[in-house]
Structure 1
């Protein structure tokens, strides 16, 4: 049939399969192929003219709008996030800038797709179903993301703070949407999932500008109380230039407890948070020096054991009467009876 439509003659069964007329077979085949190619090109040209070309110009305009919108979104996010990073917090500023950038880009892409006639309702349904499936597959990751957003918004700590979270202590190096990075005092890098942080107690050690140093020391029971207090005050007064003075601040010496082996004293001093560890060591050394100078000893933990001599007879107690075993009857004779 295809050869007949192309103008080729069919073989004549009565003449042994020879075609009708005097046309050579080669020219007939070439004509059929040329007609088929012309028909295909005509269909492609018709498709391009009716479908592609009318939508090509709007598509190019939409791509140009998205391209320009990308740079506009970058500029807008940078302008808005810069004062937040400078005045409030670096991490929160970066989060706001990223949220603004993606919001502008998604809105721009949706607007361009709507102008081009894309079915936004169907696309929204597909995206919702895909988001539900992805949410089930990545529950742990999404919980880290949600915890990261809450931490960035409410800011229980910021970059540079010294914190105790999830059972570890360190200096906050970076706060991301999924993890938080800490540097420990011995220069180890710890990466903690945000979900572990949000579900545990957060201790922000460096939140306040001032901290209280407290050194507990025990002295002998035979040491004079006034002399001990005077020696401990002398140790605290050696660092008056480093202490923070004011209401509820300054230094204090308190007799806190009468322990099993020693009389326990507490020496307290308010200092800057940055000087906490240095002042703790310095005050401890000065307390030991002042007690040695005053001849007041620090006792070792000890336990007195008193032994009472007891006779062996008292340990054994009164003699018990010996019980004779019960007599067993011969049951074989009973069975014979």
Structure 2
């Protein structure tokens, strides 16, 4: 301690006396009001710091039940809205109590917001579309959808973009404005889907035999068929095409088993038709050639034009006199 008191400042005054002189000299410009302002500022920063954790806690408390019972995307949106609302309100309250004039700041923020709105029209359009999708919920996380010409499973719905995972494991990020401005197909919305396979058979095949063969293929999947009103399976004579008789084979199945059963049913139909000797024709064109022997109707030959021969002259044999 003695060594500390023995330390001197550049003027040679002992350290304790130098501190006393510094406080005595600064007492003229350090006022009590300035000290109170510093105290208020420190209290305001502490309030904002504590309010940050309070806002996160409130957002988690409110969004948790919504994510579990209603929808995960809606719960995230509500949680973020509560968090930012609490923080903006707290910062505004602290600033007003510290004596900041918020009237001019509001006008500046309004002008800045107008300029930003003009510069980010596309981004704001994505934001508005994201809010509408979260509120009306045409699809949710985990649904298989066809949006903006892309088919995939919804991984996340954000305020600006929507993330899809394709069947071949690609991650696609689509702007929300592109989704809201196009047709949205929610493939996995209903628990049941109908398989419909279009088949064309030869005109020589018997209609009754063809129907029986196709029905036998359907009966093989009776345990996988969803029964009920408007459900079940059916063989329909659809159309008499240009080169084949067209049939439709329909079967209602669970949405989760759609692709597997569609492939199995298609293969079984092909095997049954082959066993029954019923052919599946393909479009073809017959070209008929006819020879014409009548010389009157033959195509006239194009006359040949020979180049004109240069006339001979005695002047060609004369020597050049130039």
Question: Could you tell me which residue of structure 2 aligns to residue 10 of structure 1?
Answer: none
Alpha-carbon distance in structure 2 between the residues aligned to 1:198 and 1:107: 32
Report the CA distance shift for 1:312/1:271 in structure 2 as closer, same or farther (over 3 A). Answer: farther
Report the TM-score, using the length of structure 1 for normalisation.
Answer: 0.78
- Which secondary structure does the structure 2 equivalent of 1:241 belong to? helix
C-alpha displacement at 1:91, in angstroms?
A: 1.1
Alpha-carbon distance in structure 2 between the residues aligned to 1:154 and 1:120: 36
C-alpha displacement at 1:57, in angstroms?
A: 2.3
C-alpha displacement at 1:43, in angstroms?
A: 8.1
Query: Which of the two has higher C-alpha Rg?
Result: 1
Question: Could you tell me which residue of structure 2 aligns to residue 139 of structure 1?
Answer: 121
Alpha-carbon distance in structure 2 between the residues aligned to 1:312 and 1:62: 111
Question: Could you tell me which residue of structure 2 aligns to residue 273 of structure 1?
Answer: 255
1:213 is the counterpart of 2:188: no
Over the aligned positions, Cα root-mean-square deviation in angstroms equals 2.1
Alpha-carbon distance in structure 1 between the residues aligned to 2:87 and 2:156: 26
Alpha-carbon distance in structure 2 between the residues aligned to 1:215 and 1:179: 36
Question: Could you tell me which residue of structure 1 aligns to residue 296 of structure 2?
Answer: 313
Question: Could you tell me which residue of structure 1 aligns to residue 100 of structure 2?
Answer: 118
C-alpha displacement at 1:98, in angstroms?
A: 0.4
Alpha-carbon distance in structure 2 between the residues aligned to 1:199 and 1:315: 63
C-alpha displacement at 1:148, in angstroms?
A: 1.5
Alpha-carbon distance in structure 2 between the residues aligned to 1:52 and 1:222: 104
Question: Could you tell me which residue of structure 2 aligns to residue 185 of structure 1?
Answer: 167
1:100 is the counterpart of 2:82: yes
C-alpha displacement at 1:46, in angstroms?
A: 3.5
Question: Could you tell me which residue of structure 2 aligns to residue 5 of structure 1?
Answer: none
Please give the residue correspondences for 1:195-210 in structure 2 after superposition, counting only pairs within 5 Å: 195-210=177-192
Report the CA distance shift for 1:42/1:195 in structure 2 as closer, same or farther (over 3 A). Answer: farther
Alpha-carbon distance in structure 2 between the residues aligned to 1:280 and 1:157: 25
113-122 vs 271-280, which moves further: 113-122
Question: Could you tell me which residue of structure 2 aligns to residue 53 of structure 1?
Answer: 35
C-alpha displacement at 1:256, in angstroms?
A: 0.2
1:297 is the counterpart of 2:279: yes
Alpha-carbon distance in structure 2 between the residues aligned to 1:312 and 1:87: 90
Report the CA distance shift for 1:42/1:199 in structure 2 as closer, same or farther (over 3 A). Answer: farther
C-alpha displacement at 1:308, in angstroms?
A: 4.8
C-alpha displacement at 1:196, in angstroms?
A: 1.4
C-alpha displacement at 1:87, in angstroms?
A: 1.2
1:170 is the counterpart of 2:152: yes
157-166 vs 239-248, which moves further: 157-166
51-60 vs 215-224, which moves further: 51-60
Report the CA distance shift for 1:60/1:266 in structure 2 as closer, same or farther (over 3 A). Answer: same
Alpha-carbon distance in structure 2 between the residues aligned to 1:314 and 1:296: 46
Within the candidate set 212, 220, 223, 1:241 is matched to 223
C-alpha displacement at 1:42, in angstroms?
A: 7.4
In the TM superposition, what whole-angstrom CA distance separates every residue of 1:192-233 from its partner, at most 9, and x where no partner exists? 111211211111111111110001111111111111000000
Alpha-carbon distance in structure 2 between the residues aligned to 1:236 and 1:315: 60
C-alpha displacement at 1:76, in angstroms?
A: 1.0
151-160 vs 305-314, which moves further: 305-314
C-alpha displacement at 1:128, in angstroms?
A: 1.1
Report the TM-score, using the length of structure 2 for normalisation.
Answer: 0.81
41-50 vs 139-148, which moves further: 41-50
Alpha-carbon distance in structure 2 between the residues aligned to 1:44 and 1:312: 128
- Which secondary structure does the structure 1 equivalent of 2:140 belong to? coil
1:81 is the counterpart of 2:67: no
- Which secondary structure does the structure 2 equivalent of 1:190 belong to? strand
Q: Which runs of 5+ in 2 are unaligned?
A: 1-21, 301-322
- Which secondary structure does the structure 1 equivalent of 2:31 belong to? helix
Matched residue pairs, number?
280
In the TM superposition, what whole-angstrom CA distance separates every residue of 1:269-319 from its partner, at most 9, and x where no partner exists? 0111111110110000111111112121111222233445544534669xx
